[in-house]
Each structure stands twice: as C-alpha cells, then as structure tokens.
Amino acid sequence: MTADAELRLAVPEGEPVGALLRVPDGAHTLYVVAHGAGAGMRHPFLERVAESLAGEGIATLRYQFPYMEQGRKRPDPPSIATATVRAAVKAASEAAPGLPLIAGGKSFGGRMTSTAQAEEPLPEVQGLAFLGFPLHPPGRPGVGRAAHLDEVDVPMLFLQGTRDTFAGLDLLVPLTERLAPRATLHLVEGGDHSFKVLKRSGRTEDDVMAELSGTIADWTTTL
C-alpha cells in the first residue's frame, strides 16, 4: 500500500485543515477528493477508494472541510465549502506538479466541488467525478440541486448506485442525458448511496470498488 503524506491546507477565514496525499509510482492523474457530509477524509470508504485508485495509477488528495476538522456536525455554508475546494485543488497542483487534475468526491463533497467549478473554473481541473451525487434528499425528489451543473464546462462522471435514495434514476438519467456529452453516467447495479450491494447479488465490496476505480481510470483516458 502506498503511504499517505499528511498536509495542512490554508483556508480563508479559518484554521488550516488536514489533507492526505497518496501518489503511487507511475501516477498519471491526481484526483482531489472531498468527503461526504457525515464522515471525514479518513472514512473507510474513502480509504478504500484511495487504495483502489492507486492500483489504477491515480493519485489522490483527500481533505477535510472546516466543520469536520473542528468536530462540528453541521456542514459549512457553500461559500466556505467552495473556498476549501479551491484551496485543496491549489495544494494538489503544488504537491504534484505536472499531474493532470480531476476533482469531485463523495456526495456533499462532490456537489460542493461542482458548485465551485460552476462559480469559477477550478485551475487545471480537467473533469469532475462524483461518487454518489446527492441530487435530492431521500423521499423528496427534485433536481434543484443540479441547476448549477449547466454552468460546469468540463466533463463530469456520475458514479451512482441503482438503489441510491439520494438520486432517483427517473430524474438522474434524463439529467445526465441532457448534459451530454459533458456528462457520463455509470450505474453500479444494486448499489446504495454508499455503493453497498445486497449479499444476494454475489458481489463483494472489493468487486464494487474495482468497478468504481476502473471506471474512473477509463474515463480519465477520454479527457
């Protein structure tokens, strides 16, 4: 396993936040990965993502939003979250100069990354990869959270479980079709919002993780 280098990111109007940089030998891309609303950069899911992507030659920079760093439960306002995304992208570019960048992350983190990109393009970022885009709260279908995606001018990869209650397929599929060719949708059969599949599927967590990382790696070749 490739070791993580621990970094501190300076963010506007606050104390620095932590980050973890993993660069495997022969890396061809660096993925700036934001965490979801309820779990930080060391969550086992993101650990597995970083490890699996390293096997595909993709480096990762995982980082904390200020609220998570400070142990608070309520996510930061979008202005702080998007400023943190920008700080992470800048740090990634400086830590691994020359590596092409993609950005995104899990759920809330992916949405804050796309919000930042829509407001002002993230320097050197060639595409956005979402690990479960939170299109709407469970039981409250809608596409309002995706309105800003019309302003995103780089390719987007949506990795989504077919059982994800945060993104009804009857809404997500037409959305990504409308955003094509900038948007690509990859459905993980039977996956929920955390990409967990039912035991009766016969698939393991490792199988799903290999599907996610392989899909991201294949997509980067198109950028």
CATH number assigned to the domain covering 5-220: 3.40.50.1820
User: Which pLDDT tens digit goes with each residue over 29-84?
Assistant: 999 999 999 999 999 999 999 999 999 999 999 999 999 999 999 999 999 999 99
**Per-residue pLDDT tens for 185-213?**
999 999 999 999 998 888 999 999 999 99
* Per-domain boundaries in the chain: 5-220
**Interacting residues of 204 by C-beta distance below 8 A, sequence separation 6+:** none
Query: Taking the model in full, what pTM does it have?
Result: 0.96
3-state secondary structure of 56: coil
Question: Checking DSSP bridges between strand 29-34 and strand 156-161, what pairing results, if any?
Answer: unpaired
Return d(Cα 18, Cα 216) in angstroms, integer: 25
